[in-house]
Amino acid sequence: MLLEMAGVEKAYPGEDGVPVPVLRGLDLTLAAGETLALTGESGSGKSTALNLAAGLDEADAGRIAVEGRDVSAMGERARATLRRERIGLVFQQFNLVPSLDVGANLAFQARLAGREADVAPLAERLGLAAHLSKYPEQLSGGQQQRVAIGRALAARPALILADEPTGNLDEATGAAVMEEMLALVRETGAGLLVVTHSATLAGRMDRRVHLKGGVAT
Ligand SMILES: Nc1ncnc2c1ncn2[C@@H]1O[C@H](COP(=O)(O)OP(=O)(O)OP(=O)(O)O)[C@@H](O)[C@H]1O
């Protein structure tokens, strides 16, 4: 199993110091090469679940494993290595490096993972070939998100975790970017967990998990 979350619990401290449970025993699995939409109302814990899967935060209880390796039992360093080498992250805010041009941004994640990125075909594939020496601020939102997607995929991760990747884009651009991401993900054979509010987008994935009351429904 590529990603396994079993009985995952997470609470945040409330205003009065009393923990407010967000996840109350979440079970979720993602097989290699599978695409999965994580949906749920605002505040249902979608981003929380994704951050736990990425090892960016720690669960209070339960098991989280990536490629069979127990993330919950790892220290911060091991989690960072796992993230760098096996996981690609795409966020709503594109998070590009402003001082690097498109080509360098595309190569960035792969470099961190100790791999040489094949930037040219990737740029071609994402319609960025003419923009390689531009800087992020010179790109449209859709172009910036294409760079962020290319950057995540250039490192050839086994698992892509995407949090509302088209949330900052208009509907038509968002749909186009999502189709490109899906096609690329399928070509590379990576598994994709995507947090989304969009039913249309969720419908494009192999499977859908709906979060309600802190559990998968
Ligand atoms: N670091 C934090 N500290 C305290 N509370 C938090 C923290 N992060 C999230 N929460 C709370 O946990 C709940 C779930 O948040 P989360 O961001 O996971 O929901 P979501 O389903 O992704 O929401 P949205 O669709 O609005 O992005 C919310 O009530 C939120 O206020």
Tens digit of each residue's pLDDT (9 = 90 or more) over 100-144: 999 999 999 898 888 888 899 999 989 999 999 999 999 999 999
State whether residue 159 is helix, strand or coil.
Answer: strand
What distances in angstroms separate CA 182 from CA 95, 151, 167, 191, 204, one per listed residue?
A: 20, 15, 16, 10, 9
Q: Whose CA is nearest to atom 4 of ligand 1?
A: 12
Complex-level ipTM: 0.95
For the record, the structure tokens of 151 come out as: 């950057």
Query: Mean pLDDT, to the nearest integer, of 60-64?
Result: 96
Looking at residue 71, its amino acid is: V
For 132-178, the pLDDT digits (tens) are 999 999 999 999 999 999 999 998 999 999 999 999 889 888 888 89
180: Cβ contacts below 8 Å, ≥ 6 apart: 125, 126, 127, 146, 149
Distance from the CA of 91 to the center of ligand 1, in angstroms? 15
Distance from the CA of 11 to the center of ligand 1, in angstroms? 10
Kindly report the average pLDDT of the chain as a whole number: 94
Instruction: Name the class of domain 3-216.
Output: alpha beta
The pLDDT assigned to 73 comes to 87
Distance from the CA of 44 to the center of ligand 1, in angstroms? 7
Distance from the CA of 12 to the center of ligand 1, in angstroms? 9
40 ligand 1 Cβ < 6 A:
yes
Enclosing H/E stretch for 7? strand 3-13
Distance from the CA of 13 to the center of ligand 1, in angstroms? 11
47 ligand 1 Cβ < 6 A:
yes
Distance from the CA of 106 to the center of ligand 1, in angstroms? 30
Burial environment of residue 189 by CB neighbours within 10 A (0 to 12, 13 to 18, 19 or more) = exposed
The pLDDT assigned to 47 comes to 96
The pLDDT assigned to 199 comes to 87
| Predicted confidence (pLDDT) at residue 9 exceeds the cutoff of 90 | yes
| Predicted confidence (pLDDT) at residue 192 exceeds the cutoff of 90 | yes
Choose the residue to mutate in 15, 22, 60 for probing ligand 1, maximizing ligand atoms within 8 Å of C-beta.
22
12 ligand 1 Cβ < 6 A:
yes
The pLDDT assigned to 202 comes to 92
- Cα separation, 189 vs 212, in Å, equals 30
Query: Mean pLDDT, to the nearest integer, of 37-56?
Result: 96
The pLDDT assigned to 183 comes to 92
44 ligand 1 Cβ < 6 A:
yes
- Cα separation, 78 vs 125, in Å, equals 33
| Predicted confidence (pLDDT) at residue 89 exceeds the cutoff of 90 | yes
